[in-house]
């Protein structure tokens, strides 16, 4: 099963992708995570991506599509994958259809008012784990590896507003794109707890 996860910044794509990948034996592919790893390692891709990510804009389509195309050529995706954060505009969606076959698009629906609070309270670990301050009880280390938790650089109110605007203008049209292909399944309860959202996701995926 090949899944596209849609949703605004902070909708819970990463949180649900980890769970979906584990339960259904799929590979989790997050373009945001790939870019952040490249920025950390100061690669040429990271050098290009940084200014766009800091500004809350999309990294150019040629760069992003090529990364995903190459990633989907690896053998480990043969049992299926969850694309988290890709595609993010119509150009990317059309490009993806040239080199992949998507079975289902899950759209996580969350009120915009809640997104800022979720994102600004997010703390992440370099191992990939992600938390929210509301459930950390003041802890600042990762429960999985003991690493020090920190806020993502683009999780500040100004950049988040730009990311939300980018989402509304460029990414939201993909809801109709996948709807027209009869592949869209909407997770209506995105404001509920991660467990409740995951139960709804499993209900939709079967």
Q: CA angle, corner 52, sides to 51 and 56, nearest 5?
A: 120
Catalytic one of 19, 36, 122, 123: 122
Indicate which of Mg ion, ligand AP5, none lies near residue 50 (CB less than 5 to 8 Å, by partner kind).
none
Indicate which of Mg ion, ligand AP5, none lies near residue 28 (CB less than 5 to 8 Å, by partner kind).
none
Residues in the chain: 206
Indicate which of Mg ion, ligand AP5, none lies near residue 105 (CB less than 5 to 8 Å, by partner kind).
none
Residues 138 to 157: which contact ligand AP5 by CB under 6 A? none
DSSP H helices, the chain, are: 13-24, 31-40, 44-55, 61-71, 90-99, 112-120, 133-136, 157-166, 173-180, 194-205
Verify binding: residue 122, ligand AP5, rule CB under 6 A. Answer: yes
Closest CA relative to residue 36, chosen from 7, 6, 59: 59
Has 23 been annotated as catalytic?
Answer: no
Of the candidate spans 55-63, 72-80, 143-151, 174-182, the one that interacts with ligand AP5 by CB under 6 A turns out to be 55-63
Question: Which residue, 69 or 132, is less far from ligand AP5 as judged by CB?
Answer: 132
Closest CA relative to residue 1, chosen from 103, 93, 128: 103
CA distance 68 to 146: 31
Has 161 been annotated as catalytic?
Answer: no
Of the candidate spans 8-16, 49-57, 104-112, 166-174, the one that interacts with Mg ion by CB under 5 A turns out to be 8-16
Instruction: Classify 42 as helix, strand or coil.
Output: coil
Verify binding: residue 88, ligand AP5, rule CB under 6 A. Answer: yes
Has 123 been annotated as catalytic?
Answer: no
Instruction: Classify 83 as helix, strand or coil.
Output: strand
Has 163 been annotated as catalytic?
Answer: yes
Closest CA relative to residue 19, chosen from 84, 114, 75: 84
Indicate which of Mg ion, ligand AP5, none lies near residue 186 (CB less than 5 to 8 Å, by partner kind).
none
Q: State the residues that interact with ligand AP5 by CB under 6 A.
A: 7, 9-15, 31-32, 35, 52-53, 56-59, 64, 85-86, 88, 92, 118-119, 121-122, 130-132, 163, 193-194, 197
Active site residues per annotation:
13, 88, 122, 152, 163
């Amino acid at each position: 099963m090949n899944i596209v996860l849609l949703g605004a910044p902070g909708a819970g794509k990463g949180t649900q992708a980890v769970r979906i990948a584990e339960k259904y034996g799929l590979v989790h592919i997050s373009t945001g995570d790939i870019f952040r790893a490249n920025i950390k390692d100061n690669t040429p891709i990271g050098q290009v991506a940084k200014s766009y990510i800091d500004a809350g804009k999309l990294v150019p389509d040629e760069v992003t599509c090529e990364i995903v195309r190459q990633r989907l050529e690896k053998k480990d995706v043969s049992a299926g994958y969850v694309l988290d954060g890709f595609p993010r505009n119509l150009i990317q969606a059309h490009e993806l259809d040239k080199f992949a076959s998507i079975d289902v698009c899950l759209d996580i629906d969350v009120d915009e008012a809640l997104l800022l609070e979720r994102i600004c309270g997010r703390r992440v670990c370099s191992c990939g784990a992600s938390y929210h301050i509301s459930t950390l009880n003041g802890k600042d280390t990762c429960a999985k590896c003991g690493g020090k938790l920190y806020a993502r650089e683009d999780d500040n109110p100004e950049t988040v507003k730009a990311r939300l605007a980018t989402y509304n203008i460029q990414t939201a049209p993909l809801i109709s794109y996948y709807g027209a292909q009869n592949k869209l399944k909407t997770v209506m309860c995105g404001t509920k707890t991660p467990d409740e959202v995951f139960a709804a996701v499993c209900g939709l995926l079967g």
